[in-house]
Amino acid sequence: MFELIQAGEKTYYINNRNIMGLYCLNDKEVCLIDTGDGEKAAAAIQEILEEKGWSLKFIINTHTHIDHLGGNAYLMDKWKCPAYATNVDNAFANHKILEASYMFGGYPCEELRRIFAHPGPLGFRDIENFELPQGLDMIHLPGHSFGMIGIKTSDDVWFIGDSVLNWKSLEKYQFGYLVDVEGYLNTLALLKTLEGNLFIPTHGKAETDIRPLADGNQNNIKNNMDVILEICRGGKNFDLILREIFTHYRIAPRMSQYVLIGSTLRCYLTCLQERGKLRFRFENNILIWETL
């Protein structure tokens, strides 16, 4: 179900498992904030635009993970419009296997190339070189991706991408994908300072006050760190740590989860080592991580 919900005078969002934002630039032209996870989402967006008599001027992608730009190709072709994201995130969007290669740590196997395939160079542009129209403001929210951004509209509505796990995910999943744990904690601290009427993450539901959810995410990161530090007492190599993470969080060990959780785990190890909580050493030519 793709339901159009008005969040302000000029601001709407399309409620679905991947929430997409929509802002009216004038009576006829709109911009989109993210496009969902594929052509089904794009077709639903297209139907809404046609019903309202709106034309699509441009797309802003909060970041370029595949569940946020899955409708880009369809809509950019239909409306001959550009899409904007940060320079670093566009590197992943423009190269089909870069995301999978980053997570895998080398040239990815066929399954990963298929699951995490990006659309390639469709006309993505760097938002750093774009002057946002009046009524829109941008903020950097790194951690979940290298260059994720949030967008604020003139109605004081914030579209904040994947800067938080929603309450359901905090209960069920906990070990969310990150590329920079310290950066993510800084983003959570920043979110708690923002003023607005509504905060809309891509996954979950709109919140009138983002602070409780940001607090919940901060506590979740601390709990994850504590779990890793406990696992690493006495020293373990990466594969043994990852095995215990799968067991502790009851994660099914398939290839997609291996790279998502494994990549995120390495980011936690880096953060804890730089905080002086972990050290690494080599034992019989094996890298060991040990809690201090």
Task: Read off the pLDDT of each residue in 260-271 and give the average, rounded to a whole number.
Answer: 98
Q: Given the DSSP bridges, would you call strands 278-283 and 236-237 parallel, antiparallel or unpaired?
A: unpaired
Residues 169 and 280 in one domain: no
State pTM to two decimals. 0.95
Residues 67 and 192 in one domain: yes
CATH of the domain at 136: 3.60.15.10
Among candidate residues 176, 191, 222, the one where a domain is terminated = 222
Among candidate residues 222, 243, 271, the one where a domain is terminated = 222
Characterize 117-151 residue by residue with b for buried, 16 or more Cβ atoms within 10 angstroms of its Cβ, and e for exposed: ebbeebebeebeeeeeeebbebbebbbbbbbbbbb
What local confidence, expressed as pLDDT, does residue 259 receive? 96
pLDDT tens-digit series, residues 143-196: 999 999 999 999 999 999 999 999 999 999 999 999 999 999 999 999 999 999
pLDDT tens-digit series, residues 29-76: 999 999 998 889 999 999 999 999 999 999 999 999 999 999 999 999
